[in-house]
């Protein structure tokens, strides 16, 4: 009989049949976070005002560059293929600066993750900032969640409809100005604003304003936390980049458990029984913009904004218990405190030092290249067909296409010379040159100039010759020189 019971105990339990009608995905529950006050809320307010202020107002900042140059401080000038950022002017040939900025942005993001988890998501991500702004408008118009629930019972249907309409109108106004501010970075802002008001702006401007208005309204007003949870890839990526020393918003269960009401916990403590500081008020959940219960541990939906910390600290102050039940901490430290060990915080470790060093190195390299770059440029393309021509007098001639770049806002004259080919003669098609002198070419202000150049030599060349040749471009007035190497082909 005992053997039968052991066999029954060891046998696998029957699995209930799957419900074919069960939904594959969880239905979305609407999240209406409450307003909180505290340190992290003030930080978020400050960053919201600063970042949105920069975004909306920066196109109107002026920067004098000269009589014929745009006076907008930050401008992406597609017609003239330029990017202006205050005193910096980037040409299309200098795309490596954009590459460097993208690498720096990734490294800064990695460093932020190594120090404090998803701090970017909680405070600086555009989705977080605009969602926070839209939720603030929602609370100002319709009230906190508690007030909304009361209005469902007491307020008239017309009042609720009026408030809902007012909220969506304000959302659309913010979304419209967001889209409008974006297009101002691609044209002179005051001019484009007047064109938009008069209906004379390019059609492409209206199209992009419409697209960005719709995306801002939908993403920040309606999808909200769904973007962070399901659309954004960063939560999945950062999990592979973090370690046990990275700070995250953490519920210190070593202090909070076992949780219970304030009166129940006090009664347990009077009897000498364990009682945690968490009173199970759920204010941390009510304040979370993504609806996360931080007491269940670190979760994919948590954006590490710290609002649950403010909500919990407010409750702890009211009941006379120490703050910091929820704080930026690590799971390792929670377990160390449970074992009576002191917490460990390591800001300097291999990955943080590596990220910081790479940021400094790349930033310094970019600054050095930017500070030492010339105001002229030269590129050379050898003719591909034919590679060379043998003239009637026996000399060999190669053809090249040269592109000269003048990055200054004044016209300049450049002298062309060639080196590396014996007895070389340099001829610029369409440009008059004095006998025996290097040809001189004029290039307009902030322009490129393309020309055809012929290099010939009567010297005897070895079979299958391919001689290195160097073209020099020298500013006649300033003396700055830029050189580019190529090859001179022979039979």
Domains of the chain: 243-338 (no CATH), 376-489 (2.60.40.10)
| Bridge-based pairing state of the strands 440-443 and 412-419 | antiparallel
pLDDT at residue 3 in the model: 41
CA distances from 99 to 35, 87, 106, 362, 468 (A): 40, 20, 11, 11, 31
Sign of CA dihedral 138, 141, 144, 145: negative
Res. 27 pLDDT band, cuts 50 70 90: low
Closest CA to 298 of 339, 238, 342: 238
**Residue 168 and residue 176: Cα distance in Å, rounded?**
12
Give tens-digit pLDDT for 372-384.
888 888 999 999 8
Which 8-state DSSP code applies to residue 435? T
Output 20 or 105, whichever has higher pLDDT.
Answer: 105
Six-digit token pair at 208?
Answer: 């992009």
Q: Is 310 exposed, middle or buried (0-12, 13-18, 19+ CB in 10 A)?
A: buried
Six-digit token pair at 186?
Answer: 């691609």
Q: With contact defined as beta carbons under 8 Å apart, do 304 and 246 qualify? A: no
pLDDT at residue 168 in the model: 95
Output 395 or 15, whichever has higher pLDDT.
Answer: 395
**pTM for this prediction:** 0.81
Give tens-digit pLDDT for 302-345.
999 999 999 999 999 999 999 999 999 999 999 999 988 999 99
**Residue 294 and residue 302: Cα distance in Å, rounded?**
8
Six-digit token pair at 447?
Answer: 């322009």
pLDDT at residue 283 in the model: 94
Q: With contact defined as beta carbons under 8 Å apart, do 123 and 309 qualify? A: no
Res. 15 pLDDT band, cuts 50 70 90: very low
| Stretch 260-279: mean pLDDT | 88
Preceding amide of 111 cis, omega within 30: no
Counting residues of the chain whose pLDDT is more than 90, the rounded percentage is 55
Q: Is 102 exposed, middle or buried (0-12, 13-18, 19+ CB in 10 A)?
A: exposed
Six-digit token pair at 265?
Answer: 């916990």
Q: What is the mean pLDDT of the chain?
A: 88
Phi, psi of 223 (to 5 degrees): -80, -40
Enclosing H/E stretch for 234: helix 234-241
pLDDT at residue 1 in the model: 40
* β-bridge mates for residue 326, sequence order: 251
Output 116 or 3, whichever has higher pLDDT.
Answer: 116
pLDDT at residue 422 in the model: 87
Res. 269 pLDDT band, cuts 50 70 90: confident
Output 390 or 51, whichever has higher pLDDT.
Answer: 51
**Residue 134 and residue 217: Cα distance in Å, rounded?**
9
pLDDT at residue 8 in the model: 38
Around Cβ 230, how many Cβ atoms within 10 Å?
12
The region of weakest confidence among 8-17, 21-30, 65-74, 233-242 is 8-17
Which 8-state DSSP code applies to residue 72? B
pLDDT at residue 250 in the model: 94
pLDDT at residue 102 in the model: 94
pLDDT at residue 410 in the model: 85
Look-up: residue for tokens 């008069």? Answer: 198
Highest mean pLDDT pick, 36-50, 142-156, 389-403? 36-50
Give tens-digit pLDDT for 134-168.
999 999 998 888 888 888 777 788 888 898 999 99
With 80 as the cut, is the pLDDT of residue 7 above it? no
With 80 as the cut, is the pLDDT of residue 13 above it? no
With 80 as the cut, is the pLDDT of residue 430 above it? no
Closest CA to 376 of 443, 291, 289, 460: 443
**Residue 7 and residue 37: Cα distance in Å, rounded?**
60
**Residue 317 and residue 325: Cα distance in Å, rounded?**
11
| Stretch 64-78: mean pLDDT | 87
SS3 string, 458-488, reads CCCCCCCCEEEEEEEEEECCCCCEEEEEEEE
SS3 string, 130-179, reads HHHHHHHHHHHHHCCHHHHHHHHHHCCHHHHHHHHHHHHHHHHHHHHHHH
pLDDT at residue 447 in the model: 85
């Amino acid at each position: 009989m005992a053997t039968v019971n052991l066999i029954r105990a060891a046998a696998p339990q029957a699995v209930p049949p799957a419900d074919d009608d069960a939904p594959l995905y969880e239905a979305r529950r609407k999240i209406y976070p409450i307003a909180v006050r505290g340190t992290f809320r003030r930080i978020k307010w400050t960053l919201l005002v600063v970042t949105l202020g920069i975004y909306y107002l920066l196109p109107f900042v002026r920067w004098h560059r000269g009589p014929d140059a745009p006076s907008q401080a930050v401008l992406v000038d597609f017609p003239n293929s330029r990017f202006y950022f205050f005193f910096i002017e980037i040409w299309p040939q200098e795309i490596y600066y954009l590459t460097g900025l993208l690498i720096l942005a990734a490294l800064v993001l990695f460093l932020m993750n190594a120090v404090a988890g998803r701090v970017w998501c909680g405070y600086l991500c555009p989705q977080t900032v605009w969602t926070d702004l839209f939720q603030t408008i929602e609370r100002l118009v319709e009230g906190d969640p508690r007030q909304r629930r009361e209005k469902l019972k007491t307020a008239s249907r017309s009042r609720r409809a009026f408030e809902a309409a007012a909220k969506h109108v304000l959302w659309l106004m913010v979304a419209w100005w967001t889209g409008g501010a974006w297009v101002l970075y691609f044209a002179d802002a005051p001019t484009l604003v007047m064109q938009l008001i008069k209906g004379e702006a390019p059609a492409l401007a209206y199209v992009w304003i419409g697209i960005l208005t719709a995306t801002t309204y939908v993403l920040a007003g309606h999808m909200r936390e769904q973007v962070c949870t399901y659309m954004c890839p960063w939560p999945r990526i950062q999990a592979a980049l973090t370690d046990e020393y990275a700070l995250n918003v953490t519920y210190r269960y070593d202090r909070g458990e076992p949780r219970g009401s304030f009166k129940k916990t006090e009664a347990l403590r009077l009897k000498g029984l364990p009682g945690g500081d968490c009173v199970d008020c759920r204010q941390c959940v009510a304040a979370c913009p993504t609806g996360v219960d931080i007491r269940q541990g670190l979760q994919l939906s948590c954006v590490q904004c710290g609002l649950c910390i403010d909500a919990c600290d407010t409750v702890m102050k009211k009941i006379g218990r120490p703050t910091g039940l929820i704080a930026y901490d690590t799971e390792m430290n929670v377990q160390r405190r449970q074992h009576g060990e002191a917490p460990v915080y390591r800001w300097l470790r291999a990955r943080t030092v590596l990220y910081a060093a790479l940021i400094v190195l790349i930033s310094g390299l970019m600054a050095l290249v930017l500070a030492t770059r010339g105001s002229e440029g030269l590129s050379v393309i050898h003719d591909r067909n034919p590679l060379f021509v043998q003239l009637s007098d026996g000399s060999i001639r190669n053809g090249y296409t040269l592109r000269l770049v003048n990055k200054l806002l004044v016209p300049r004259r450049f002298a062309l010379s060639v080196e590396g080919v014996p007895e070389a003669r340099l001829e610029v098609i369409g440009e008059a040159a004095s006998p025996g002198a290097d040809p001189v070419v004029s290039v307009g202000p902030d322009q490129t100039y393309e020309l055809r150049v012929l290099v010939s030599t009567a010297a005897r060349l070895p079979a299958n010759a391919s001689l290195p040749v160097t073209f020099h471009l020298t500013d006649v007035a300033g003396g700055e020189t830029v050189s580019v190497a190529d090859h001179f082909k022979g039979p």
